[in-house]
Amino acid sequence: MANHVEIERKYDVDGAIAIEDLAGPDVTLDEPHTWRLVADYVDTPDLALARHGVTLRRREGGQDAGWHLKLPLVKGGRREVHAPLGAGARPVPAGLASLVAAFVRGRELVPVVTLETDRTARTLHDRDGVALAEVSDDVVEGRRLTGGLDRRPVSWREIEVELLDGPADVLDALEEKLCEAGAVTSTSPSKLARVLGDELAPESGRGGRSAGAALMAYMERQRGQVLAYDPLVQLADHDDDTVHKMRVAVRRIRSVLRTHARLLDRERVAELEAELKWLAGELGTVRDLEVLTARFDRHLAERRMESRAGRESLDRLAAEEREARRALKHTLRGPRYFAVLAALDDFIADPPFRGRAHRKATRVLPGLLAGSWRKVQSRYGRAERLPEGAERDRMLHSTRKAAKRARYTAEATADILGKPATKLAKQAEKLQETLGSRQDALVAQDWLIRLGTRPGLSAEDAFTLGILLDAEREEATETTHDLAPVLDKATKRVRTLENR
């Protein structure tokens, strides 16, 4: 399956706008190409894909006829995955079905919308002939399919601008011209969403500004991140940060469940937290190997030791990472993972609130946030009183985990508590990253020592491992110099929140 990141913008237009108006002294247009595109959109009967910003279609016509899977928006673009056309809208190609399994979870995929588009497309080039963007003028008719019957079709015209090899500001320049000519930025994220209309309207909110409502809103956002990164993790064959992002979303949920424990039924929290811990561990196996690989490559590059000689151990690490990545992809297609997602859905839909959860968020959250930060201070104070050694290392690692929970708690309360919580989250992040770098260096040292004592180690490999070990020891020593100022700033933020 081929895939790429799609960066595009859509505009509602009337008959007065022509693509030719986008040309200028520095931009030329190629000859227009016209196509008739017919696409069947596939989803579960309750639109599980569309509700999460995913589109899956089989399209005939045009230069890219075939199956197209568009994944949720991440970092300003959407990942689009292609598969060959096939004979019909069912069955969905196995590779694409796997990528949406976390959304579908065993439900049937059926055609839900048919779109017929008359497209006129032209490519914009700069003076050097570089293809900047493709501009498509689309006249669209869409029909909702329900129970085998067509609803009344809807029709519209839109202009779609997709970035090709041009810089990102090309889109801004084209948008300015289009809007000057009367185009309006589309309020619908996709053609499919326009046809579905009110069916994708968000469910009514929980109401009020209670502490429980604020917690569930944060958990919903993080659940969305878990689902958004799931297919990207499955597509990744190297460290592209997707495993890290998915793991962070899981950790954020676990952290706020702990810091908000007084608001929730402990038994329900314990059941969910245990399964989330398992999932974080599955993601962590790959992420820990990614971190080691990146650290060692960086150290060798800084020392201009990038040849293949003496890298037997690092090649073994790379092979271990590849195997862990394969195992993770298997996990993300398995029943235990789907059960975790279902349990998370149930928890958010019917949260096990206790009395304090119904109180005003502005009264409850400052205390929870201050409590999470006091644990950071307490653990750091204990670490400072210990001599250098394994026990101090363990306490600093515990301080790091407490700082992480304080950071995520501050993020979860920022919508309610505003700038003080946002600033505290940044201070906690600095502390977490500093201590995290130290912990990564200690873990790397253990890994290097273990490899360095194995039988049959070559002299070149031993030399490389020795260089890396010295680098990791040096980095572990340097990381803790700036901890005290960060702690002081964060403590002042907490006092501000408590005194509001």
Q: How many Å apart are CA 91 and CA 278, to the nearest integer? A: 33
* Residue whose token pair is 């992040």: 429
Q: How many Å apart are CA 472 and CA 474, to the nearest integer? A: 5
Q: How many Å apart are CA 223 and CA 345, to the nearest integer? A: 8
Residue 70 in this model has a pLDDT that exceeds 50? yes
User: What confidence tens digit (pLDDT) does each residue in 244-261 have?
Assistant: 999 999 999 999 999 999
Entry pTM: 0.89
**pLDDT at position 497, please?**
62
Q: Where in the chain is the domain with CATH 2.40.320.10?
A: 2-200
DSSP-assigned letters across all residues of 321-346: HHHHHHHHHHHTTSHHHHHHHHHHHH
The Cα angle at residue 17 between residues 12 and 18, in degrees rounded to 5: 120
- Tell me the mean pLDDT in the region 180-201: 88
Q: How many Å apart are CA 201 and CA 256, to the nearest integer? A: 28
Q: Which class is domain 2-200?
A: mainly beta
Question: Residue 197: left (phi > 0), alpha (psi -120 to 50), or beta?
Answer: left
Is the Cβ–Cβ distance between 69 and 54 less than 8 Å?
yes
**pLDDT at position 499, please?**
63
Q: Which amino acid is at 363?
A: R
Q: Bridge-partner residues for 120, per DSSP?
A: 34, 137
**224-233, 240-249, 296-305, 320-329: range with lowest mean pLDDT:** 296-305
Q: How many Å apart are CA 442 and CA 465, to the nearest integer? A: 14
pLDDT band for position 198 (cuts 50, 70, 90) = confident
Q: Where in the chain is the domain with CATH 1.40.20.10?
A: 211-498
**pLDDT at position 204, please?**
47
Q: Which class is domain 211-498?
A: mainly alpha
Residue 480 in this model has a pLDDT that exceeds 70? no
User: What confidence tens digit (pLDDT) does each residue in 327-368 have?
Assistant: 999 999 999 999 999 999 999 999 999 999 999 999 999 999
Backbone CA torsion sign across 25, 31, 37, 43:
negative
**What percentage of the chain reaches a pLDDT higher than 70?**
93
User: What confidence tens digit (pLDDT) does each residue in 488-500 have?
Assistant: 776 766 666 656 5
Coil vs helix vs strand at 4: strand
Arithmetic mean of pLDDT over the chain = 89
Which position has the higher pLDDT, 263 or 458? Answer: 263
